[in-house]
Amino acid sequence: MKRVAIIGAGLSGLTLGHLLQDVAQITLFDKGRSPGGRLAYRRAHPYVFDHGVQFFRAKTEAFQKFLDPWVRSGVIQPWCSRFVEINQGILDHGHDWSELLPHYVGVPHMNAFPRALAKGLDIRLGTRIIEVQSMSSQWALYDDSGAECGLYDWIVYAMPVAQVIDLMNHSSRLFKQLEGRQMKPCDALMLGFEAPLVLPFDAALIKGAPISWISMNQTKPERSSACSMVVHSTNQWALEHAKFSNSEVIKILKQAASEVVGSIWEQPVYEDLQRWRYANIAPQKGQQALLDLEERVAICGDWLIQGRVEAAFQSASYLADQLIQQWA
């Protein structure tokens, strides 16, 4: 069996590992303490926040089929949220999300889905790969302690494009195809309130403000009942304010959220901020994954398609199909 190293155990790396596990010997590496990447959550008792991905859709049959076992087991459930759009402070329109057109979330938190997907895979967590070296017909990986992490026949980068650029050998033929892909940041503010805020929505898409999204995490299935609000900045605002300190960002986003919520706003008793450097990318044209058969290198990730969980799946499953065909 071919030995394959996948660097990055977000949804694209995990999907690829899952789809290739019967045809290759797979080892995944991730610098995080838990698999899942941007499918993340933060616990600060009694509050729980999905501060990255808010929900995901399965618009294609292939993704729905892939999700089905976890939907059946309850690790993924629809979030039947009271959804509204708020434009320039005015509540535009709203509707309740239904199970017929599911907006999925991990249960009991967003990271539960990648954790379930990771079961049975060989994943080296807390391992930041900082160097990839070609050794005749194999690849050697090194982590940030200088330790060698094994020799592999194939190497797959499954991470945001800027991180691929940092790590990949610049003389690699695929390197040229990474130019001009810019992922945008997002600042995620987490607020915990002592008493419930009685709002006319569970999730709000905001327009005409520095923030693009507010969600009440406790309204997702099987969450703690403590009033936990997630506020996302727009990608553009985060880009323009990248040099602002955390406390300045918290102050501005909190003010913007309080303006949306209006007179029922209470001061939060808990606040924290996550600054996602590589959150989102506009829809892309071109191949869904990149591979070089001669160099035995491949790349997958949402950014080859668009900044969505389903895109991460599509990129990885396209790559899995290509590799399985080649190895047959």
Binding mask 167-186 for ligand FAD (x = CB under 6 A): x------------------x
Q: What angle do CA 48, 52, 55 make, to 5 degrees?
A: 90
Between 48 and 158, whose beta carbon lies closer to ligand FAD? 158
Judged by CB under 6 A, does residue 276 bind ligand FAD? yes
- 322 contacts 289 by C-beta, under 8 angstroms: yes
134: left (phi over 0), alpha (psi -120 to 50) or beta: beta
In the set 41, 47, 49, 55, which binds ligand FAD (CB under 6 A)? Answer: 55
State the Cα–Cα distance between residues 6 and 152, nearest whole angstrom.
10
Give 260 or 309: the residue with its C-beta nearer to ligand FAD: 309
Q: Is 158 in the site for ligand FAD (CB under 6 A)?
A: yes
What are phi and psi for residue 228, nearest 5 degrees? -120, 110
Closest CA to 197 of 272, 265, 96: 265
Token duo for residue 19: 């789809």
Report the nearest approach of ligand FAD to the CB of residue 231 (Å).
Answer: 11
The distance of closest approach from Cβ of residue 59 to ligand FAD in the complex, given in angstroms and rounded to an integer, is 10
Q: How far is Cα of residue 268 from the mean position of the Cα atoms in its chain?
A: 26
Instruction: Name the region of 8 (left: φ>0; alpha: ψ -120 to 50; beta: rest).
Output: left
Rg of the chain in Å (alpha carbons): 20
Single out the residue of 4, 5, 6, 9 in contact with ligand FAD (rule: CB under 6 A): 9
Nearer to ligand FAD, 106 or 192 (CB): 106
Decide: is 31 part of the binding site for ligand FAD (CB under 6 A). yes
**Residue that has been written with the tokens 């905001």 in this structure:** 206
Choice between 226 and 300, CB closer to ligand FAD: 300
Number of residues that bind ligand FAD (CB under 6 A): 39
Residues 6+ apart with CB under 8 A from 181: 161, 281, 284, 303
Give the pairing type, strands 154-157 and 297-299. Answer: parallel
Question: Out of 4, 5, 6, 7, which residue is the one contacting ligand FAD (CB under 6 A)?
Answer: 7
For ligand FAD, which is the closer residue by CB, 48 or 53? 53
Cis omega before residue 210 (within 30°)? Answer: no
Q: b vs e for 236-252, b when ≥16 Cβ sit within 10 Å of the residue's Cβ?
A: ebbeebeebeeeebbeb
* 188 part of the interface to ligand FAD, by CB under 6 A: yes
Torsion sign over Cα 283, 284, 287, 292: negative
From the list 52-60, 73-81, 133-141, 169-177, the region that binds ligand FAD by CB under 6 A is 52-60
Q: CB nearer to ligand FAD: give 86 or 129.
A: 129
User: In the bound complex, what is the minimum distance in angstroms from residue 195's beta carbon to ligand FAD?
Assistant: 27
Q: Is 54 in the site for ligand FAD (CB under 6 A)?
A: yes
Reduced to 3 states (helix: H, G, I; strand: E, B; else coil), residue 7 is: strand
Considering only residues 115-154, where is the footprint of ligand FAD by CB under 6 A?
Answer: 128-129
Nearer to ligand FAD, 14 or 199 (CB): 14
Q: Which stretch binds ligand FAD (CB under 6 A): 5-13, 172-180, 190-198, 291-299?
A: 5-13
Residues in 67-86 that interact with ligand FAD by CB under 6 A: none
- Report the DSSP pairing between strands 24-29 and 123-124: parallel
Minimum CB distance to ligand FAD, residue 327 (Å): 22
Q: Are strands 290-292 and 297-299 parallel, antiparallel or unpaired?
A: antiparallel
Q: Does residue 53 interact with ligand FAD by CB under 6 A?
A: yes
**Contact footprint for ligand FAD (CB under 6 A):** 7-13, 29-32, 37-39, 52-56, 128-129, 158-160, 163, 167, 186, 188, 232, 276, 279-280, 301-302, 307-309, 311-312
